[in-house]
Structure 1
Amino acid sequence: MTNKVTLIATAAMGLEAIVGKEVRALGYEDVQVENGRVVFKAEPSAIPRANLWLRTADRVKLLVGKFKAYSFDELFEKTKELPWEQFITEEGEFPVVGKSVKSKLYSVPDCQSIVKKAIVERLKKKYGIASWLKETGAFYRVEIALHKDEALLTIDTSGSGLHKRGYRVGQGEAPLKETLAAALVQTTNWHPDHPFVDPLCGSGTIAIEAALIGQNIAPGFNRSFASEEWSFIQQTDWDQAFQEAEDLANYDQPLNITGSDLNPELINIAKQNAIEAGLGELVTWKQMQMTDFKPKQDNGYLVSNPPYGERMGDREEVEQLYRDLGSIMRDYPSWSVYILTSYEKFEELYGKKATKKRKLFNGFIKTDYYQYFGKHVKK
């Protein structure tokens, strides 16, 4: 098998540059940032490392091939030409999922079954099997994605999406994805020496992700991945990746991170999630209302995903919340404030124009990330 593979780290809209930065930070140089994904070439040992360390990517996929396909025959023949046996073992189980956008081949079920047939034929020939394939071995989820008649064939290396860190034992009614929460923290220039607060913390995701970042704990350390079963990745690569994660974690780094919320039930959930993440008592959780928030130190960071007031009945309450937050933080000019909301007149209610704004999607909700730099921050 060739030395290098092409990997695709998929990303939510607006997070691609952050994912690209993370991939480069892992030491990979051949990196292209595209819409919804970051493509890079690396040794197979990058699969364990990328899955363990990428905080803001959705998944890591292995690219098997891409080509133009205008007919089902073309899709079949070109799929069959790809070196599937380099990745999928004789007993491998490989369901095929698909999607098609702006392409002649728009029937996804047909595309899926054609790709499946083509891979089966290729593997039977390569492994010298006359009957059917058993599919009782390791799991390889193949995806056929057609976009403007270009077929992209990948195998998912992650299994569950990378936002599933393995620590969420409970959540509120509109939980923030862990990957987006990590991106909100990484967009700030917070350093673990500074105080960090989320005064509307819900089930605690932002504060927990900040603690993981603060102690340089790999986000995938607490879970397993589909590709751990794949024979073309050496077991030593997995062992080394987990060992590297253990060696680089800075468990002695003191942190000053607080999450507070008015709802005592959510504070209990946040505590449980933090314990499950291996953070124990590292994060301080408080049941209190936001208007009681009074920073005791300078140069802190407030990062939050408050309610958006999407439901009509909540609108007035949420508007008052934004006003209150603005009037509280006016007294603490050294603090940096970062707020994610879909409420378009946020700056008006907060009483100040943001230093910077970034468009992000929270699920399917279009939001802005309002960034107010504290006086100590270099713009």
Structure 2
Amino acid sequence: MTQNVTLIATAAMGIETFVAREVKALGYEDIQVENGRVVFQAPVSAIPRTNLWLRTADRVKLLVGKFNAYSFDELFEQTKALPWEQFITEEGEFPVIGKSVKSKLYSVPDCQSIVKKAIVERLKKKYGVASILKETGAFYRVEVAIHKDEVLLTIDTSGSGLHKRGYRVGQGEAPLKETLSAALVQTTNWRPDEPFVDPFCGSGTIAIEAALIGQNIAPGFNREFASEDWDFIDSSHWDNAFQEAEDHANYDQPLDITGSDISHQMIEIAQNNAMEAGLGDLIQWKQMQVKDFQPRKDNGYIVSNPPYGERMGDKEEVEEMYRDLGVIMRDDPSWSVYILTSNENFESLYGKKATKKRKLFNGFIKTDYYQYFGKHIK
């Protein structure tokens, strides 16, 4: 297949602009930013490249068709009219999942069933199959998403969500998604030759994502994707994408990244995750309370997702940690500090109003990303 396809990179609310920036950086210009997704036109070779390189997207989906449907008949006929055989092979396995919001066709099981039947009928006719389709081949997860009667039919190219980088062998109680962690780092002006610290590192995700960014390592280098088995994507596209990732990685870039946490167990988990990511000893890990942190160089960055203190017993302890950090950083004005928390009193506890604030969702938790810009010393 040589023609362009329409791809949809899905994203958590609030970080669509990061995804759009990454898509553009890969050289794809025909981009629309919408709520929860970035839609763009690109050659088929973009499927391997975007899956490998997008740090902040949740998934990359292939758009097969878009239309309005107000009845099951319309849904069936318009689905059947789409060129499914261009993507799904005769033996392809294609389960259908669905969702429907504010639409006349509100029964999701019915919509899924109708879309499945329509695709089966189309493929049987195109492949000349009289009996049932075997569905023993490559995996194509089809999604029917209906919003205000507009139907989007997509095939998921990623398989597992893109936040599953393949390095997380352990985690804490409330781990931060790798995709959001990457967005937190990308919000900053941090450069790989500057100090980077996460004083509440938990299982190490923010520090690990910073190291991957610092050495320009493709986040998907350590995992597999559903579309690697698809016939319409020439294997050379995958070979070229993996080779590009290898060629652009800067494994010799020295890094000054530290992750610390009060829990010895979490530091052990973070170390194991970093090893699994292939980062070895590139990140320094320390068991330490935040009040013992002392910056040793100028112009550093703190990026962290500390405990929020939402459980009754933790509130006072967490608020004390926020105060301790504020006191320490008052003496180091060259440092920039970026804190994600749902605690609405963070600024008063930290002792300073943020330079900038951004609303983000950590899963289903509404949070603010407090950004304090350092005064750089030359």
TM-score of the superposition, structure 2-length normalised? 0.99
Read off the aligned partner of 1:242 and give its amino acid letter.
F
Once residues 282 and 376 of structure 1 are traced to their aligned partners in structure 2, the CA distance between those partners, rounded to angstroms, is: 25
* 1:127-157 CA distance string (max 9 Å, x none): 0000000000000000000000000000000
* Correspondence for 1:323: 323
Pairwise CA distance, 1:296: 0.4
Moved >6 Å (runs of 4+):
none
Distance 1:293 1:331 in 2: 12
- Identify unmatched segments of 5+ residues in structure 2: none
Structure 2 letter corresponding to 1:53:
W
Paired amino acid for 1:83: P
DSSP-derived class of the 1:339 partner: strand
SS of the aligned residue for 2:361 comes to: strand
How much has 1:312 moved relative to structure 2? 1.7
Shift of 1:311: 1.0
Distance 1:370 1:111 in 2: 43
Q: Residue 66 of structure 2 corresponds to which residue in structure 1? A: 66
- For 2:110, what is the secondary structure of its paired residue? helix
Shift of 1:345: 1.2
Task: Name the counterpart of 1:148.
Answer: 148
Deviation by residue 1:297-322 (Cα, 9 ceiling, x = unmatched): 00000000000011122111111111
Matched position secondary structure for 2:138? coil
Structure 1 residues 250 and 277, CA, compared in 2 at 3 Å: closer, same or farther?
Answer: same
Q: Is the partner of 2:48 in helix, strand or coil?
A: helix
Q: Aligned letter for 2:290?
A: M
Give SS of 1:361's match.
strand
Aligned to 2:114: 114
Give the whole-Å Cα distance in 2 for the aligned partners of 1:27 and 1:179: 21
Q: Find the counterpart in structure 1 of residue 259 from structure 2.
A: 259
Query: Partner of 1:168: helix, strand, or coil?
Result: coil
Residue 377 (structure 1) shift:
8.8
The RMSD of aligned alpha carbons is 1.0
Alignment partners' CA distance in 2, 1:32 and 1:75: 25
Number of residue pairs matched?
A: 378
Give the fraction of aligned pairs with identical amino acids, expressed as a percent.
83
Aligned equivalents of 1:366 and 1:301: distance in 2? 24
Contact 2:182 2:210 in 1 (8 A): yes
Match of 1:25 in 2: 25
Task: State whether structure 2 residue 253 is matched by structure 1 residue 228.
Answer: no
Question: Per the alignment, in what secondary structure is the counterpart of residue 284 of structure 2?
Answer: strand
Distance change >3 Å, CA 60–CA 320, structure 1 → 2:
same
Looking at structure 1, the residues matched to 114 and 203 of structure 2 have their Cα atoms a distance apart, in angstroms, of 44
Matches of 2:292 and 2:145, distance apart in 1: 50
Structure 1 alignment gaps of length 5 or more: none
Residues 14-52 of structure 1 show CA distances to partners (whole Å, capped at 9, x for unaligned) of 000000000000000101111000000000000000000
Match of 1:347 in 2: 347
TM-score by length of 1: 0.99
Q: How does 1:74-223 map to 2 (within 5 A)?
A: 74-223=74-223
**Which amino acid letter does the alignment assign opposite residue 149 of structure 1?**
D
Deviations 1:88-126 (A, max 9, x none): 000000000000000000000000000000000000000
